[in-house]
Structure 1
Amino acid sequence: MRSNKVLVTRGPANVPDQSPRGAAAPRGSGFAGGFANLTEAVDAVAAVDSLLASLAASRAVLMETVREWAADQPERFGAPEVEADDVAGLAPELVEQLAKALRMPEGSAVALIEESRALVHEHPRTLAALRGGHITHAHAQTILGYTDGLRRANRVALETRLLKHARTTTPGELSLVARTERERRLRPERSTEPRIGPRKGRSGRQRISASPTGRPTR
């Protein structure tokens, strides 16, 4: 089993009293010392936000490490033996205890496990951006959602484009970009799908095919 512990122990920055983005931490005890100007105050908040993103990345890596650990010893949890990257055979005990510890429904715990596996194994660049505080957890979820189900080449290309936009957009704005880009990349794939209905023959009659909604279009 591949170990991901090194990713868990590294923080976004190792400089004392400095944020991942280089902003100086507030002086004095807590925030009582105040700020020199508005820029410093906003940078302090942004630094904490970057730290939260880094922690979300660490949680994803640790979550995947736990899943792999449980998958390697199914006899311990009474779960069926499955492939190392398969989330379908999750041990019920693992899901139950994670849900309880994280105070979330079991369905949400399963979704978080699946998200963590995808970040670690399929989207390492998104994971790195999250760990560096360059994007938020919501940005990462948007990227995973809109690249899901695409062929590898299209998935990588879309992820690259979305990572570039994610640094300067809100998750909502990124979603709009992602929707347009995903549709553009799906069109060539749809053209290769088998068509349903009569095909155009030598008589020159118009061919009827199925639309993405299942209704025939002329």
Structure 2
Amino acid sequence: MDHFTVVDSLVGRLEELETDLARLAGERVLILSELAAFAGSAADELVSDDVLRKRERQALARRAVIADVAAATRTTEHVVTSLMAEAESLAGDFPQTLAALREGGLTHKQAQVIVGEAADMDADARAELERRLLLLARAGNHVTLKRQARRERERVLPESFAVRHARASSHRNVRIEHVRDGMSWISAYVPAGFAASIDDRLRMTALAHRYAGDDRTQDQLMADAFLAALLAPECACVLGESGEELPVPSPLETFRRIVPTVSLTVPALVLLGHRVGPDGQPLDPAELDGVGPIDPETARQLCGQASSFVRILTDPVTGAPITIDEHARVPSRRLKAWLRYRDGVCRHPGCSRPALRCDLDHTTAVVEDGATCAGNLAHLCRRHHRLKHLANWRYAHGAAGHMRFTAPSGRRYESPPERRVLRT
């Protein structure tokens, strides 16, 4: 038996095991939902104190059952509480998802994504989103499904994106959590357009220092640039433990020089203020690459600042690109802009690294007469790019942007494009 046959056999066994685990997760959901129902109906039997109100007795009964499950399964009550709430939601509001989980047709994490994205919707919208996500779950992992779910959610919700964004924006905030070892977490709740620009600027600042010879990691440099922008205009760029200053600008100076580059996909009619297309269906919202849907007003403002954005206008019915305006910080070819739109992320199955941070790879090398065209180019992150060249992974293009990946063991995986295309 050759090595590839052994790998194929072992991967096949793992695949079967994951299916069994999904089925077991489905059975666990049923048991936990039955325990929750029992705790609610048998509160008088489980709690002996007659002075307590009915709601208090039910809460205590639930806690008693949760404590029992946690002790029996050697896990924490916090975990059991979360699993029980999820089980009640799945059993009560997502019957098709639960059925697919019990059949092994999707993973537990995928089921969690569906519940998380649709739980706060009304019954009709929830059922429609569930139907769509169950179809999408067949072709990827939970990370891919979560990214797709944000887009599908916008298509299903009856309330306009602008109204929901305005409501959410009113709750923006910055939170500080002090943790051990003298450290703290700082997080800010802000509109996506600003967050994407800040993230890109921090990354470009870090890369500029890495290229200049700074020995700090990418994460360290991004954090230092963030602090410099807020607190330390005079902050010097210092090399690690040596204390030697580099002959490059401070993180703040670099940060201010960089213009963020963000790809923005906008249905053409959205720019004109329309909410529905010619077919009477709601228009898809504008999207920031790597972030997801944004409100129409922000999209129109960003299109007016085209020097910092790659704008891709799409047909309101087919979703195909009408035109691609290239006004990025570093001018790019129309083909590159189109491929970033098509791929969205690294094309390796299950990878979610944004295309902007990936290599644009010739599937068939130029030295082997590979053409420089959409049908021979795809985005691969550095990790998966190396897999292709060093670990015998083979990639092939199909119709409409689809790709097929073949592992060294001979197992094949499909990779649909992030966005639908009419031709390549």
| TM-score higher than 0.5 | yes
CA distance in structure 2 between the aligned counterparts of 1:98 and 1:123, rounded to whole angstroms: 23
Cα distance in 2 between the residues matched to 1:71 and 1:181: 35
2:91 corresponds, among 120, 140, 165, to 120
The match for 1:171 is 142
Question: Which structure has the greater CA radius of gyration?
Answer: 2
Query: Once the two structures are superposed, what CA deviation does each residue of 1:22-59 show, in whole Å capped at 9, x if it has no partner?
Result: xxxxxxxxxxxx99664443222111110000000001
Q: How does the TM-score come out when normalised to structure 2?
A: 0.35
Contact 2:46 2:61 in 1 (8 A): no
Moved more, 151-160 or 106-115: 106-115
- Residue in 1 aligned with 2:11? 42
Report sequence identity in percent. 30
2: CA distance, partners of 1:107 / 1:190: 36
Distance 1:47 1:80 in 2: 49
1:158 alignment partner, one of 108, 119, 129: 129
Within 5 Å, give how 1:4-19 maps onto structure 2.
none
Q: Which runs of 5+ in 2 are unaligned?
A: 172-296, 299-424
| 1:183 Cα offset (Å) | 2.7
Residues 45 and 76 (structure 1 numbering): CA distance in 2 closer, same or farther, change over 3 Å? same
How far has the Cα of 1:90 moved from its partner?
A: 5.0
CA contact (8 A) 1:77 1:91 kept: no
Distance 2:91 2:145 in 1: 21
Call closer, same or farther: CA 1:69–1:35 in 2, change over 3 Å: farther
AA in 1 matched with 2:111: A
How far does residue 88 in structure 1 lie from its aligned partner after superposition? 6.1
Map 1:84-95 onto structure 2 (within 5 A): 91-95=62-66
Q: Distance in 1 between matches of 2:23 and 2:134?
A: 16
| Pair 88,178 (structure 1): closer, same or farther in 2 beyond 3 Å | farther
- For the residue of structure 2 that corresponds to 1:167, the secondary structure is helix
Point out which structure has higher relative CO (alpha carbons under 8 A, 6+ apart): 1
TM-score, normalized by length of structure 1? 0.65
Structure 2 residue aligned with 1:109: 80
CA change 1:172–1:191 in 2 (3 A) is closer
Q: How does 1:1-218 map to 2 (within 5 A)?
A: 38-78=7-47, 81=54, 91-186=62-157, 188-190=158-160, 210-214=166-170
- More displaced stretch, 167-176 vs 107-116: 107-116
Change (3 A) 1:210 1:179: closer
Q: How far apart are residue 160 of structure 1 and its match?
A: 0.5
Contact 2:117–2:153 (Cα < 8 Å) also in 1: yes
**Structure 1 segments unaligned to the other structure (5+ residues):** 1-33, 196-208
Tell me if the contact between 1:80 and 1:89 (Cα under 8 Å) persists in the aligned partners.
Answer: no
- Looking at structure 2, the residues matched to 168 and 129 of structure 1 have their Cα atoms a distance apart, in angstroms, of 14
C-alpha RMSD over aligned residues: 3.1
Relative to total residues, which structure has the larger helix share, 1 or 2?
1
Aligned residues: 165
Residue 159 of structure 1 aligns with an amino acid whose one-letter code is E
